Structure 1
Amino acid sequence: MYLANSRAADQASAQAGAKPRWHRVPPNVLALGVVSLVTDISAEMVTAILPLYLVLGLGMNPLQFGLLDGLYAGATAVLRLVGGHAADRWRRLKAVAGIGYGLSAICKLGLLAAGSSVAALGAVLALDRAGKGIRTAPRDALISLSSKPETLGRSFGVHRALDTFGAFLGPLVAAGVLWVSLGDYGAVFVTSFCIAGCGVLLLVVLVRDHPRPGPSTAVPLRAMVGLLRIRSFRRCCVWAAALGLVTITDSFVYLALLRRWDVESTLFPLLPLGTAGTFLLLAVPLGRLADRVGRWKLFLGGHAALVVALLLICGPVGSPWLAAAALVLHGCFYAATDGVLPAAAGPLLPEHLRASGLALLQTGQALARMVSAVFVGLAWTLWDIRPALLLTTALLLVVTLAAAVVRPWEVSR
């Protein structure tokens, strides 16, 4: 259900001499945002150069890259379930999240050790995404449980803004390291590991676990599956997965931009800055807007923005301004969806199973996006990148319109 309108609370705060907005965000949410900021600098350093490294550096064809990109997107799937269930069963949200952050940090050195072996790179990328999968549900559950229900959109928006600031800095740091090291990818991986280690330390020092009500006995695994009996939550999971199945992954968006506008390879790591900068600016405003007008409406609006972005990339006009507009719309897509969906789904779940439920939701998305990446890679290999993107965009538009008509749950004020 939605608890979307915090206007009365905001007016009461104003009459009492309200503090600045940042001061009204729970300290634990800010702490988790700082951890994500540092961690995302590390992660986006690798993500920014990975397509270039794999396609141009190692000479992978689109299908091979699609398989690895799908693995990168989908390796989180099962581990999200494990992380969410372990956090609820042991009631140790912070500890389980810390395991995930630590695993991802170690994998940055694994990329260096893998060399040019496709199998080894795939294994390291899977472990890196496994770390993300383990930590995501406990982290989002901590954000949800540390916030008031009527301000969940704002809390997730603030967290995603800090997270995205790290994503904005990551490509800049990667480009700087490549410049200083004269194009040495290994230097990027080592620097990324050091920054990721700092993120783990910040988690230990700054973040507090959250005591939760619920049964005194350990949460059984069947309780997680039982969450799908909640009709509104089940519909939420189904539609989120359906949309993920026709959502093009970031790497293909940037490779399409590289191909269409003949971007120099040295500038390729900077393309995500357009997405990240827009996400950074809009995450908090759109999170607050979602609390007011409805989170599901905004979630679908984000997918509509992605449809327009892809049409600009594949359209007949090749103006550089359209490339910039596509990156801005890509950032709008993330600002309207990334934190809005868990903010919408959180209140549908009991508190003692919050991490498990969010893990189920995120698992469906991860598996769907894995299939999407493989499909786009195969279509690119068979028909070239433009027909592949146009087909996927058409499917995304159809599913978005269907979701707008059916609606997975009734909006409640």
Structure 2
Amino acid sequence: MTSSARTASGGVARLAAWRFIMVFGVVSMLMDVVYEGARSVTGPLLAGLGASGLVVGVVTGVGEAAALGFRLVSGPLADRSGRFWTWTIAGYLVTAAVVPLTGLPGVLWATALLVIGERVGKAVRSPAKDTLVSHAATVTGRGKGFAIHEALDQIGALLGPLLVAAMLAVTGDNYAPALGVLAIPGAASVALVVWLSRRVPDPVRYEADPPAGSPATASDHLTPPGSLPRAYWIYAGFTAATMVGFATFGLLSFHLVREHVMPTAVIPVAYAGAMGADALAALATGWLYDRIGPWTLVALPVLAAVSPVLAFTAAPWSAVTGILLWGAAVGIQESTLRATVADLVPPGRRATAYGVYAAILGAATFLGGVLTGWLYDTSPTLLVLVVAGVQVCALLLLLATRPAGLSRSAR
């Protein structure tokens, strides 16, 4: 009997590692229907309330910073308390409660606060959730485990925008019912994650005694309990650089509306396509990561640099292509980047590592949101040039740190 079929007491577990990842993927899929459905119309929603490009950039940048920065608190608290399921469930509850209300206020500041509130819910749950998934991914392969979870997650990210688009088409661009209907998948996600927590109360047992031949890493026994390894900090610097030069979909969709590139009801469909590209990129890079390691990440700054060149145009097909490339970049960010963190840090410090890592990315994302919003109001062409320059610097930083060296540190 493998360790993935044992509990803390030595009995038979009720879910094997792959099944745990699959069920957790369904939980994330349902919640992605909720918050990605809402995010697909953030730009048009704010624009309809009188927001400028700078305001959209600031709101979405602050939202992403909150989603990442608050993890600096939630990650260490999850590690210290050991209550990973409590933090995970609480975060899902916040998102499920906030999103259906976002279309109601009709006032810019109130809507902006709800948009940011949804991101706070993600911050509450993410370090604990990623840690829970990382334990099972020790058995399945870190790249593949996180990739499968992300692919399932992105099915929801595809369905959510399509549901919102259909509701907008039926209700005549009325955001209240379009976002209110998202309460249904939100409730289902919370119910399923509570069920999963009862079926597998202690997922760390997947990692406690991995079966022979599993992809468990040696780093779990090499890092002092109170520290984070040097390779981790180098890696965090590279990923922060990529986020400084990364436009949010809120700004992309704002451009589509302002320049009349496509009708408002079609924008969630374009976002759904981006989420499909996200899932495919996650699967591809997850598979590559388990074979060639962090060299896979070279694709991220390349995609992040090319996507705005195509997206910030007046040609619909060029904009759609740019959005798909943007989605592929997000797929790498949401799967392979997290797999690398799990390989660099041992279990006892992993939620803290995810929290610190997210805080660094949160600061970078806020800076990137403000920068790209200001550049867009100044000149979309200047935005494209500056983003490309930042991503070139990020690529050079990655090459200078020798990804193979990071791989050896992790493996």
- Name the TM tier (shorter chain): 0.7 to 0.9
Change beyond 3 A, Cα 1:261–1:149: farther
Report the counterpart of residue 37 of structure 1 in structure 2: 29
Report the counterpart of residue 246 of structure 2 in structure 1: 247
Q: Give the Cα–Cα distance (whole angstroms) in 2 for the partners of residues 355 and 70 of structure 1.
A: 23
- 1:184 lines up with 2:184 in the alignment: no
Aligned residue type for 1:237: A
Of 131-140 and 325-334, more deviation after overlay is shown by 325-334
Q: Give the Cα–Cα distance (whole angstroms) in 2 for the partners of residues 293 and 47 of structure 1.
A: 34
- Aligned-pair distance for 1:202? 0.9
Of 334-343 and 95-104, more deviation after overlay is shown by 334-343
Change beyond 3 A, Cα 1:242–1:227: farther
Of 89-98 and 73-82, more deviation after overlay is shown by 73-82
- Report Cα offsets for 1:143-195 as digits up to 9, x if no partner: 11112267100000000001111000011100112223332211122112232
Query: What is the RMSD of the two structures over their aligned residues, measured on CA atoms?
Result: 2.6
| Residues 145, 210 of structure 1: 8 Å contact kept | no
Change beyond 3 A, Cα 1:331–1:377: closer
Change beyond 3 A, Cα 1:45–1:335: closer
Q: Give the Cα–Cα distance (whole angstroms) in 2 for the partners of residues 266 and 252 of structure 1.
A: 16
| Residues 97, 136 of structure 1: 8 Å contact kept | yes
Report the counterpart of residue 391 of structure 2 in structure 1: 396
What is the aligned counterpart of 2:60 among 69, 77, 81?
69
- Aligned-pair distance for 1:327? 2.8
| Residues 93, 210 of structure 1: 8 Å contact kept | no
Q: Give the Cα–Cα distance (whole angstroms) in 1 for the partners of residues 58 and 348 of structure 2.
A: 36
Aligned residue type for 2:241: A
- 1:264 lines up with 2:263 in the alignment: yes
Gaps of at least 5 residues in structure 2 are 1-14, 208-222
Q: Give the Cα–Cα distance (whole angstroms) in 1 for the partners of residues 57 and 315 of structure 2.
A: 27
Aligned residue type for 1:305: L
- 1:361 lines up with 2:357 in the alignment: yes
Length-normalised TM-score, structure 1: 0.84
Paired residue total: 376
- Aligned-pair distance for 1:391? 1.6
Aligned residue type for 2:323: L
Change beyond 3 A, Cα 1:254–1:376: same
Q: Give the Cα–Cα distance (whole angstroms) in 2 for the partners of residues 337 and 78 of structure 1.
A: 16
Aligned residue type for 1:327: I
| Residues 54, 60 of structure 1: 8 Å contact kept | yes
- Aligned-pair distance for 1:258? 4.9
Report the counterpart of residue 217 of structure 1 in structure 2: none
- Report Cα offsets for 1:50-87 as digits up to 9, x if no partner: 111111x1121111111111111111234212221222
Report the counterpart of residue 148 of structure 1 in structure 2: 138
1:66-215 matched pairs, under 5 angstroms: 66-113=57-104, 115-148=105-138, 151-207=141-197, 208-210=200-202, 212=204
Aligned residue type for 2:99: K
Report the counterpart of residue 308 of structure 1 in structure 2: 306
Q: Give the Cα–Cα distance (whole angstroms) in 2 for the partners of residues 65 and 324 of structure 1.
A: 20
Q: Give the Cα–Cα distance (whole angstroms) in 2 for the partners of residues 386 and 273 of structure 1.
A: 26
Report the counterpart of residue 298 of structure 1 in structure 2: 296
Q: Give the Cα–Cα distance (whole angstroms) in 2 for the partners of residues 231 and 398 of structure 1.
A: 20
Report the counterpart of residue 212 of structure 2 in structure 1: none
Q: Give the Cα–Cα distance (whole angstroms) in 2 for the partners of residues 278 and 61 of structure 1.
A: 29
Report the counterpart of residue 325 of structure 1 in structure 2: 321
Q: Percent identity?
A: 25
Q: Give the Cα–Cα distance (whole angstroms) in 2 for the partners of residues 225 and 110 of structure 1.
A: 42
- Aligned-pair distance for 1:112? 4.1
Q: Give the Cα–Cα distance (whole angstroms) in 2 for the partners of residues 300 and 257 of structure 1.
A: 29
* Structure 1 residue matching 2:37: 3-state secondary structure: helix
| Residues 101, 200 of structure 1: 8 Å contact kept | yes
Change beyond 3 A, Cα 1:411–1:122: same
Report the counterpart of residue 236 of structure 2 in structure 1: 237
- Report Cα offsets for 1:306-359 as digits up to 9, x if no partner: 2122223357xx654433432332232123332101111112212122111111
Change beyond 3 A, Cα 1:79–1:183: same
Change beyond 3 A, Cα 1:165–1:354: same
Length-normalised TM-score, structure 2: 0.84
- Report Cα offsets for 1:254-295 as digits up to 9, x if no partner: 33455567212221221112211112233223211111011x
- 1:387 lines up with 2:382 in the alignment: yes
Q: Give the Cα–Cα distance (whole angstroms) in 2 for the partners of residues 77 and 339 of structure 1.
A: 15
| Residues 239, 403 of structure 1: 8 Å contact kept | yes
- Report Cα offsets for 1:7-47 as digits up to 9, x if no partner: xxxxxxxxxxxxxxxx9962211111000000000111211
| Residues 66, 376 of structure 1: 8 Å contact kept | yes
Change beyond 3 A, Cα 1:178–1:374: same
Aligned residue type for 2:379: D
What is the aligned counterpart of 2:339 among 322, 326, 343?
343
- Aligned-pair distance for 1:200? 0.6
* Structure 2 residue matching 1:183: 3-state secondary structure: coil
Report the counterpart of residue 59 of structure 1 in structure 2: 50
Q: Give the Cα–Cα distance (whole angstroms) in 1 for the partners of residues 111 and 316 of structure 2.
A: 34
